[in-house]
C-alpha cells in the first residue's frame, strides 16, 4: 500500500528482545537494513549513518529506500506538554490488521517466530568454600597442595 523511502524503527520490540524486527521488515519490503544507528545524515539521495559496533563505531552509506533501526543513543527524548497529551487523546487512530496488508498471520508474531525461549532456572547453588587456617605456613601450603592434587588441578 505504501512505498516509503525510509522506514525508521527503534531497535527493540516485542520480539523477545532479539532485535530482529528491522531485518524482518527490510526483508519483507526488499530494502537494505541498518541496525544500531546512532546518527543519520541525508546525502545525495542516500543516508550516511553512524552505527554502534563491537569496538567503537562504523560509518555506513546506504541508498534509499532503506530500513533503519536506531539505538537509544540517537537522541535525547522530548517530552510533550500536557496540552499536546490531551490533544492526542482526541485524534483518530487507524488500526490495520496483518491480514489487511497481505501478511500471513501464521508467519508473524509468536507463531511465526523462529526464536523459541526454553525454560529458565536459577543456577544450582555452589557449595561453601573450604577455609584453611593454620599458624604454620608450611602446613597450610601442604594442605592446599594436597587439596589441589586431590582434584587433579595440579
For each of the domains in the chain, give its residue range(s) and CATH number, in order of start. Answer: 6-75+96-112 (3.40.50.620)
Q: Can you give the pTM of this predicted structure? A: 0.52
Distance CA 96, CA 34 (A): 26
Contact 29, 64 (CB under 8 A): no
pLDDT at residue 7, rounded to an integer: 93
pLDDT at residue 18, rounded to an integer: 67
pLDDT at residue 14, rounded to an integer: 63
For the chain, residues with pLDDT lower than 70 are: 1, 13-18
pLDDT at residue 81, rounded to an integer: 95
Distance CA 41, CA 46 (A): 9
pLDDT at residue 133, rounded to an integer: 77
Q: What is the DSSP string of 119-153?
A: ---PPPPPPPP-----S-HHHHHHHHHHHHHHTT-
**Segment 26-41, tens digit of pLDDT:** 998 999 999 889 999 9
pLDDT at residue 17, rounded to an integer: 63
pLDDT at residue 24, rounded to an integer: 86
Contact 6, 42 (CB under 8 A): no
Spatial strand order of the sheet with 56-63 comes to 6-10, 66-70, 33-43, 46-53, 56-63
Amino acid at each position: 500500500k505504501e512505498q516509503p523511502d525510509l522506514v525508521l524503527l527503534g531497535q527493540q520490540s516485542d520480539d523477545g528482545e532479539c532485535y530482529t524486527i528491522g531485518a524482518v521488515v527490510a526483508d519483507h519490503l526488499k530494502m537494505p537494513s541498518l541496525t544500531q544507528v546512532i546518527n543519520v545524515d541525508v546525502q545525495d539521495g542516500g543516508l550516511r549513518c553512524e552505527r554502534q559496533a563491537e569496538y567503537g563505531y562504523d560509518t555506513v552509506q546506504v541508498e534509499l529506500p532503506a530500513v533503519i533501526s536506531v539505538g537509544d543513543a540517537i537522541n535525547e527524548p522530548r517530552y510533550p506538554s500536557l496540552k499536546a497529551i490531551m490533544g492526542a487523546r482526541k485524534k483518530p487512530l487507524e488500526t490495520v490488521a496483518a491480514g489487511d496488508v497481505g501478511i500471513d498471520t501464521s508467519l508473524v508474531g509468536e507463531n511465526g517466530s523462529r526464536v523459541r525461549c526454553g525454560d529458565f532456572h536459577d543456577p544450582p547453588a555452589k557449595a561453601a568454600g573450604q577455609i584453611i587456617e593454620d599458624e604454620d605456613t608450611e602446613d597450610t601450603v601442604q594442605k592446599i597442595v594436597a587439596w589441589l592434587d586431590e582434584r587433579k588441578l595440579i
